[in-house]
Structure 1
Amino acid sequence: MSFGQMNSNSEISAEKLKQFFERFPERIVERGESFIQANEDSPVFLVLEGRVLQYHISDKGDKLSLSSYRAGDLLPLSEVIISQVPAFYAEAIEKSVVRMAPRPEFHQFLEEDKQTLLAVLKQISRDEQDLKVRLSSAMEGGAEGRVLQELIIIQSQLEDGDEKICITEVVLASQTGLARETVNRALKRLSARGVIRRPRRGCIELV
């Protein structure tokens, strides 16, 4: 869940976080544009609008998806917290708006606001859990399993009561590291097995 989807205390933290980032410049990131490069020092980004993908480039040149972020999420958190250079890349998978804060100011902000620090730690825990799910899915192999696990992760990030996942096959392919045609076939097989429903184009429901 993003900061905007937590309990009332976390909603207060989300507002404090938003106010903190309003001191720093806003940036529009076009679809497909990278704004965090591996092995280069990076500020911390707050996603205001859109959707962002964190990924790794393998030695073979393959693009391996790690985690996705939406409005209210921060990145790259782990590296910023432990003062390391990011080992991964980030790009917008749809037109997005972000704000970026220097690390020293962000560290000081967290030191002075323990409630927001707890909310940040919750997001780090969520990111770790998502990565474990993707890793186990990749180890098991199979396009259907990878697509289904990705849909489960996306649904877990939705607002309470929202059961429909609205996502294009292109975006789903980007997040799973599969070809769009492979995603299309996997969705058809999952639908035929009764695992998902597709009430209209671009929307998916887990059964």
Structure 2
Amino acid sequence: MDLFAFLPLAALLDAAYGALTGLSDLLTPVAGASAAALAVVLVTLIVRALLIPVGISQAKAEQTRARLAPRLRELQRRHKKNPERLQKEMMALYRAENTSPFAGMLPVLAQAPVVGILYTLFLRPEIAGHPNELLAHDLFGAPLGTSLVSALFGGTATPATFLVYGVLLAVMIAVAEVTRRVFRPTPVEGDDSPLNSPPCCAWSRRCTT
């Protein structure tokens, strides 16, 4: 079943396609055949910038969860034979701290539709009944409509393909590491859980026990 055959989703995808192709056309004099890829990068950066306040809220939620971890473990120890009482006590603790176990999920939920639409735009050969012109673009010689796996098994992989995907992978790893360091919860004094310890310290304890 094709979800995007459903009229509202098809209209949403077509609107996103029109906006992205319009931005790509504006960037073509500067980026040439890589204009569509640059348009995706710009859209991603705009979405990330708009979500900065939500990211700050997520970081605070992570710090709150780290601070509450010892008290939550104590509740689990005290009420492990009474799941219903444990649930009530945990929710009462979250309410007292003005937080919830689901705090910090908003950035993921907010980004998911944008990421899903962008991904779909480079999968479908047709959008709302017309050819998908985005697939004719490339990024430094790597076609945007072809994944690394399909290029390998289809015999169309070139040195440019490996270079582009290698650089993208390195960038994603670097961004993930920077994000992990920036949003890592502040250590809580007296809490020796692995979550509250720097990676090297947690690893050292595992190695010495």
User: TM-score category by the smaller chain?
Assistant: under 0.3
**More strand per residue:** 1
TM-score, normalised by the number of residues in structure 2: 0.25
TM-score, normalised by the number of residues in structure 1: 0.25
Larger relative contact order (CA 8 Å, sep ≥ 6): 2
